[in-house]
Amino acid sequence: MEISNTRVCVVGLGYIGLPTASLLGTKGFQVHGVDVDQAVVETINQGNIHIVEPDLDILVKSAVQSGRLTAAQEPAAADIFIIAVPTPFKEQRQPDVSYIEAATRSIAPFVQPGNIVILESTSPVGTTEDVVARILDESGHNIDEQVFVAHCPERVLPGRILTELVENDRIVGGVNELATEKATDFYHTFVRGEILATDSRTAEMAKLTENAFRDVNIAFANELSLICDQQGVNVWELITLANRHPRVNILQPGPGVGGHCIAVDPWFIVAGAPRVSRLIKTAREVNDAKPDWVTRKVRSSAEKFKHPVIGCLGLAFKADVNDLRQSPALDIVNQLQAEEVGQLLVAEPNLKGHGDFDLLPYQEVIARADIVVILVDHKPFRRIKPQDLHEKVVIDTRGILS
């Protein structure tokens, strides 16, 4: 593959599409990024970014300034199309593949014989065949021999996206062997990890499985935290001790599981095989119930005060990101506000502002609060010492003080 002559069209310039597009641009591909949001397109064309991710600003600026990355609201002709749009769920936790459908329809008029079309969005089993390949087929493309359709799930960790995009192994599953081969060749041009070839259904299931694995293991830790609370045992000390066993590796409990991946993807497995996905479903329920449990804890502490002032540290779904999607921390703060549990003071060092809350420096929140609820283990919070919280009621959902 001659990189400098290869055009790549990336549809969806979010957490996966933008890092991928800018990385490919700096590698020398000619990249046309597509996003339906005009503001996002303008921001990127100015060499700026609309999400927080370490070093992404530098990469985007460099790709845009070199003329190798341009953004637009419409797709354009390319050699390789990458679809990286969201797959949320709708009512009854059924996967919503409508963005993938729309993205495929939008590229269909630009696709030519010889092109590769790759779905990177996390997808329910069968989506690459039944949505992407089917729509291209219905649009008159020969997906058996001339247009190569494959799934290559993204597996990068927010906060480490640029490193993991290059270093992680990738799973590539085509709708046929030729498609697998063609897509594999492409990933070899910029991935240092191994490229593991399979079929598209296995690739889809692999991605869902990775996130369900993590969800089930976090649920184990979260369930332990409830048990330990009843039993008067410090769950973090317990886990540290148990993990000294050579074959035990328990994850960390928290206020719940957030983000757009782990809290969502296991439901795609459950939706596809509801009767046999009992453990995966229960794990989701255990993790989803944790924010309510934390809220109840705060409420029962607040009842001891006449005018409780509750300091909430963190809104993001996990440490050192500014992403609020499915955030258990935000859910808890919203619940405390809705139930008027007390006066709320909120700190979120990774956000400049928030529509519903005045954000304060965390030191001020601690100083003014009766009850301090640690919801996210952001770097600055990890510097808080037990003596800084002297005479406060502390609810440490992340165990940063343990």
**Quick one: tokens of 218?**
């976090």
Shortest Cβ 377–ligand SAJ spacing (Å):
8
259 binds ligand SAJ (CB under 6 A): yes
Q: Which of 10, 224, 261, 333 binds ligand SAJ (CB under 6 A)?
A: 261
The answer to whether 114 touches 141, Cβ cutoff 8 Å, is no
Using the rule CB under 6 A, give the single segment among 40-48, 259-267, 270-278, 358-366 that binds ligand SAJ.
259-267
Nearer to ligand SAJ, 254 or 311 (CB): 254
* CA–CA dist 175, 58 (Å, integer): 36
**Catalytic residue chosen out of the listed positions 9, 152, 182, 207:** 207
**Catalytic residue chosen out of the listed positions 261, 281, 290, 312:** 261
DSSP tag of 130: I
Interface with ligand SAJ: number of residues (CB under 6 A): 20
E strands within 1-96? 7-11, 30-34, 69-72, 80-83
Q: Which of 20, 121, 123, 211 binds ligand SAJ (CB under 6 A)?
A: 211
Q: Which of residues 130-159 bind ligand SAJ (CB under 6 A)?
A: 154-158
* CA–CA dist 327, 376 (Å, integer): 10
How many Cβ atoms are within 10 Å of 216's Cβ, its own excluded?
18
290 is catalytic: no
207 is catalytic: yes
122 binds ligand SAJ (CB under 6 A): yes
218 binds ligand SAJ (CB under 6 A): yes
214 binds ligand SAJ (CB under 6 A): yes
- Residues 6 or more apart in contact with residue 18 via CB below 8 angstroms: 33, 44, 49, 50, 51, 56, 60
205 binds ligand SAJ (CB under 6 A): no
Nearer to ligand SAJ, 75 or 254 (CB): 254
378 binds ligand SAJ (CB under 6 A): no
How many Cβ atoms are within 10 Å of 163's Cβ, its own excluded?
13
**Quick one: tokens of 80?**
């390789």
257 binds ligand SAJ (CB under 6 A): yes
Using the rule CB under 6 A, give the single segment among 27-35, 257-265, 336-344, 352-360 that binds ligand SAJ.
257-265
Q: Which of 98, 252, 282, 335 binds ligand SAJ (CB under 6 A)?
A: 252
86 binds ligand SAJ (CB under 6 A): no
**Quick one: tokens of 78?**
């390319």
Shortest Cβ 376–ligand SAJ spacing (Å):
8
Compute CA distances 27 → 21, 54, 66, whole Å: 10, 18, 11
Longest dimension (CA), the chain: 73
SS3 342: coil
Shortest Cβ 7–ligand SAJ spacing (Å):
26
**Quick one: tokens of 1?**
């593959």
**Quick one: tokens of 220?**
């184990």
| Residues making contact with ligand SAJ (CB under 6 A) | 122, 154-158, 210-211, 214, 218, 251-252, 254, 257-259, 261-262, 317-318
- Residues with a catalytic annotation lie at 207, 261
